[in-house]
Each structure stands twice: as C-alpha cells, then as structure tokens.
Amino acid sequence: MKYISTRGQAPALNFEDVVLTGLATDGGLYVPETLPEFSQEEIASWAGLSYEALALKIISPFVEGEIPEADLKRLIAASYKTSADKGFRHEAIAPLVQTGHNEWVLELFQGPTLAFKDFALQFLGHLLDYVLKKRDQKVVIMGATSGDTGSAAIEGCRDCENVDIFILHPYQKVSDVQRRQMTTVLEDNVHNIALQGNFDDCQNMVKASFADQSFLPEGRQLVAVNSINWARIMAQIVYYFYAGLALGAPHRPVSFSVPTGNFGDIFAGYLAKRMGLPIEQLVIATNSNDILHRCISENDHSKQALVHSLSPSMDIMVSSNFERMLFDLHGRDGNKIGALMETFKSEGSMVLDDAVLAEARALFSSYRVGDDETVDVIRSVFESTEYLLDPHTAIGVQAARQTRRNNSTPMVCLATAHPAKFPEAVKQAGQTSDPALPFHMQDLFTREERYQVIADDLSQVQLFIRENISG
Ligand SMILES: Cc1ncc(COP(=O)(O)O)c(C=O)c1O
Ligand SMILES: N[C@@H](CCOP(=O)(O)O)C(=O)O
C-alpha cells in the first residue's frame, strides 16, 4: 500500500515511513493511494468477531507487505488487552449502551486514559516500539493536545525505549483531571509543556516544527501522535465496523453522531463508509467553536476567536483532518488543495465550490451545541436513564437528536470521554458529587506533577525540547 500527500508534491511513502513522517514535506497529510473495499458478504461474515479479530481484518490491507500477519496480531492483542489499569476495563472493549429509541452510545472511554484516543494511541505506541526497534532508531515525539490526546499518547509511549515524548497543552485550558493524567507521569522520557496560548497555537507550533526540524540534534526526527499521523485514523476505523456489525450491519444501515474537533474521528467514519459499511447518516457535532458546522450549513469556513468551553477537548478552530476530506471532495487534486489551504492560511477563510459543498452536505449533517445546551442534555439524559454523559458525548447526542432523519436506523453516538474527566460540566448539570475516577486513578490528585510553562514562542519551545532530549 502506498500513501500520498493531500498537496500532491511530496513523495509517496510506504506504511512504516508514513507512520514515522507525520506531515508530508509539502505540508500536506498522507492518505492511502487506494482504499480497501470489503464486500457486503465479507463484512457479514465478521459478525460476532472480537474487537481484536475485527481490527486484524480492517488493518491488514493497510500494512500488507510490510508487517507480517503474526506481528500485526501481536501488536493488536497488546493494544486491546483488558486490564484494570493499563488496558481496557470492559470485555467488549467498545461496549454499546442504549440511551433512547434506537439511539446508542458507543463507549470509547474504557481504555487506560478514559477517552477514545486510547484506541489509536495504544496501537500507535506498540507500533512505534516495533518499527523503531526493527530499525534501531530513536525519535522525538511532539504532539499538541486539548486534553485527551496528550495523556493517551503518553500512556501509549511511556514504555517505548526509543522515544522522547513532548506534549504541548494550552496552559490552564484543560481540566484538572486531564492535566494531571499527563503531568504526573514522571518517566525521564516524558515532558509536558503548558503553552501560554490555546490549542490552535499548540497545533501550529507542532506543525511548524515538523516543517523545519533543524532544531533537533543530528540523527533525530519528529514523529506525530496527533491525527495527522495516518495510523491514528486507520485504527479508529475499526470501531465503526464493530458498532455497525453489533447493530445489524451490513444487513441494515447504521448512523453515527461524532463529537468533532480536529475531524479525525469522523473522517475515520467516512472511510468506514467508503470501505463498505452501510452508513446512512454521519453527523458532525461541534461545540461553539463551530467552524465545521458553519462550513457545512452556510459555506462559512472562517476562523473566529477560539472560545473556552465546557467541552475543552473540542476547543479547536483549525481542524487538521478536514484537509483529508477536502482532498477527496476535490477529486484528489493536490494542487487545488495546496492553493485552498494557502488561502485559508493567509485569509483565515475559504469558500467551497457549489458542487463540493453539495457533496459535503450529502455526506454529512452538522449541528452546533453551546454550553447551556450541553449541560441541559447531560441533565435530561441522566434524569431519563440515569446514564451520565460527558460534555463531549452530550454534544454528539444532542446533534443526533436534532438532525436525525430516520428513526428506524440505529443512531450511534460516539462517547468520546468519561464524565469523570470533566467534573465542572457534570456539576453544572446538577450532579452533587464528582463522578468517580476508575480505581487505577483514585490517587491522581495526590500524585507529584511535573510540567514546564512556556510562552507561545516557537524558539523557546524548541530550545526546551532540544535541551531535554535524552542522549
Ligand atoms: C473527548 C473528545 N471528544 C471529541 C474530540 C474530537 O475528535 P476529533 O478531533 O477527532 O474530531 C476530541 C479531541 O479531538 C476529544 O478529546
Ligand atoms: N481533542 C484532541 C485534540 C487533538 O486532536 P488529535 O486527534 O489530532 O490528536 C485532544 O484531546 O488533544
């Protein structure tokens, strides 16, 4: 399988090189040159497979010719093991819970750091360890987080011998639980930077560093743990198939509502559809940082000031993976995407052609949910079902309810995080005590923290990284 850049000017790469490369040299993102497609019969034959067995079916074609099946099987088994602390806390790995008429919540927060990021980052950690040992290579991971990617990446990579990991989070703009999940990991190869800026500033800094890596010591290269890394998206495709099969696909269609920020998760859903899963509706659910909702509903893809919300992990204005979507919507014309992204960078906005917009609207519904509505949904779902949603999941549930076209098709709302990560929103929704953290995190607030506050200044951040890379 070859991978090509969305901007058409970078060399095509194989899977392992794509995993280690992050951003393409032309600033684009890597996507598979061709997408595997599964027949309805083949998908039907997967009914009842375990999560690991299904992951093997879906991931195999993407790594064919590079990772032998026995090795891939081992990586997958290590990534999706059940355990009370370092693994998934539910036998089903991604269990479904019914919250309304033909409405389901897919619990993607059963992993070690309580967010959907564990699905891809547990796998990426094992994959990197495997590839780097094979190549006898050391790398530097640099990642940006609005709260969840950071801890999942640290958890996934803390035991990788050949990795130094540097995670940038926006100072004082992630929840206390999220920050402590990252900053209480004290291994020598783990470094947390609290950047005096917002998530977009963190992400810009990461992208700028990928574009010019001359600040690194000789022989080191940056590796991405954000969803610019293709392996992240690939691993996330699996749970769409898993939920769809559990609800009767491919014999009946299924819909998904996805709390959206960087557009990685819903892009994985779009790919699942193209690979053969009969998905009827894909809902982009945003908080008040609603550039994607405005784009789909009004053709207004313009940057606005980033607002700090009760769903901080989705406080994102520039959604990296939308570029991958635009690439497909523009007939995979890299030159067009290069020009479009340049316009967006220089003018802060872009307008889609009528045909492109029409196709985007055929593929996606969208809805924006502000903080008050988020709190109301957490409260009302709890009152009717005693099920406690986290604020991001609540946005997905509300967007599903507001945009749903067909009640006879199961609607799956992706539960992207555990409510214990966001006690503030939960309290505002009328809960009198904080949701309990799982057993392995009960001492989180007594653990020692280590992090560095740094100004929103590229050279200061790069200096910190350079000085802290292991020898
Ligand atoms: C809890 C949670 N929900 C939703 C999202 C949005 O996912 P994506 O960035 O893949 O759109 C994120 C992070 O991005 C998140 O951490
Ligand atoms: N919500 C994310 C933001 C980064 O998104 P990613 O999927 O590109 O890693 C977070 O929690 O950090």
Q: Is 110 in the pocket of ligand 1 (CB under 6 A)?
A: no
Please report the atom of ligand 1 found closest to the CA of residue 263: 11
- Order of strands across the sheet with 190-196? 222-223, 139-144, 163-170, 190-196, 452-455
How much is the mean pLDDT over the chain?
Answer: 97
Cα-based torsion angle of the residue sequence 193, 196, 199, 204 in order, rounded to the nearest 10 degrees = -80
Q: Is 203 in the pocket of ligand 2 (CB under 6 A)?
A: no
Average pLDDT over residues 384-406: 98
Q: Determine the distance separating the centroid of ligand 1 and the alpha carbon of 45, expressed in angstroms.
A: 31
pLDDT tens-digit profile of 267-322? 999 999 999 999 999 999 999 999 999 999 999 999 999 999 999 999 999 999 99
Please report the atom of ligand 1 found closest to the CA of residue 227: 10
Residue 193 lies in a domain: no
Q: Any idea what the Cα angle at residue 453 is, between residues 449 and 459, rounded to 5°?
A: 135
- Going by pLDDT thresholds of 50, 70 and 90, the confidence category of residue 5 is very high
Handedness of CA 316, 318, 324, 330 (dihedral sign): positive
Q: Is 170 in the pocket of ligand 2 (CB under 6 A)?
A: no
pLDDT given at position 85: 82
Residue 358 lies in a domain: yes
Residue 340 lies in a domain: yes
- Going by pLDDT thresholds of 50, 70 and 90, the confidence category of residue 371 is very high
Residue 421 lies in a domain: yes
* Residue with CA at minimum distance from ligand 2 atom 4: 145
Per DSSP, the residues of 182-217 read: HHT---TTEEEEEEES-HHHHHHHHHHHHH--TTSP
Average pLDDT over residues 36-47: 98
Identify whether the C-beta of residue 297 lies closer than 8 Å to the C-beta of residue 323.
no
How far CA 459 is from CA of 165, 191, 198, 390, in Å, comes to: 18, 17, 17, 37
Q: Determine the distance separating the centroid of ligand 1 and the alpha carbon of 261, expressed in angstroms.
A: 5
Tokens 């280690």, residue? Answer: 20
Residue 383 lies in a domain: yes
Nearest ligand to residue 396 Cα: 1
Whether the pLDDT of residue 434 is over 90: the answer is yes
pLDDT tens-digit profile of 167-220? 999 999 999 999 999 999 999 999 999 999 999 999 999 999 999 999 999 999
pLDDT tens-digit profile of 235-266? 999 999 999 999 999 999 999 999 999 999 99
Identify whether the C-beta of residue 125 lies closer than 8 Å to the C-beta of residue 160.
yes
Residue 459 lies in a domain: no
Q: Determine the distance separating the centroid of ligand 2 and the alpha carbon of 169, expressed in angstroms.
A: 10
Q: Is 148 in the pocket of ligand 2 (CB under 6 A)?
A: yes
Residue 353 lies in a domain: yes
The type of residue at 420 is A
Q: Is 117 a catalytic residue?
A: yes
pLDDT given at position 416: 98
From 148, 193, 323, the mutation candidate for ligand 2 (largest count of ligand atoms within 8 A of CB) is 148
| CATH number of the domain bearing residue 367 | 3.40.50.1100
* Separation of alpha carbons 437 and 423, rounded Å: 10
Q: Determine the distance separating the centroid of ligand 1 and the alpha carbon of 134, expressed in angstroms.
A: 32
Cβ neighbour number for residue 471 with a 10 Å cutoff: 4
Host domain of residue 297: 96-114+230-428
Whether the full predicted model's pTM is greater than 0.95, yes or no, is yes
Residue 114 backbone phi and psi in degrees, to 5 = 70, 30
Q: Is 178 in the pocket of ligand 2 (CB under 6 A)?
A: no
* Structure tokens belonging to residue 285: 């659910």
What region, left, alpha or beta, does residue 413 occupy, with left being phi > 0 and alpha being psi -120 to 50 degrees?
beta
Indicate the burial class of 401 (C-beta count within 10 angstroms; 0-12, 13-18, 19 or more). Answer: middle
Whether the pLDDT of residue 84 is over 90: the answer is no
Q: Is 183 in the pocket of ligand 2 (CB under 6 A)?
A: no
Please report the atom of ligand 1 found closest to the CA of residue 261: 11
pLDDT given at position 76: 98
Cβ neighbour number for residue 466 with a 10 Å cutoff: 13
Please report the atom of ligand 2 found closest to the CA of residue 149: 12
Residue 173 lies in a domain: no
* Separation of alpha carbons 23 and 395, rounded Å: 30
- Going by pLDDT thresholds of 50, 70 and 90, the confidence category of residue 86 is confident
CB burial of 425-435 (b: ≥16 within 10 Å; e: otherwise) equals: bbebbebeeeb
Identify whether the C-beta of residue 99 lies closer than 8 Å to the C-beta of residue 397.
yes
> Looking at the 3D structure of the chain, how many domains does it have?
1
Whether the pLDDT of residue 471 is over 90: the answer is no
pLDDT given at position 138: 96
Q: Is 269 in the pocket of ligand 1 (CB under 6 A)?
A: no
- Going by pLDDT thresholds of 50, 70 and 90, the confidence category of residue 151 is very high
Q: Which of 117, 138, 207, 336 is catalytic?
A: 117
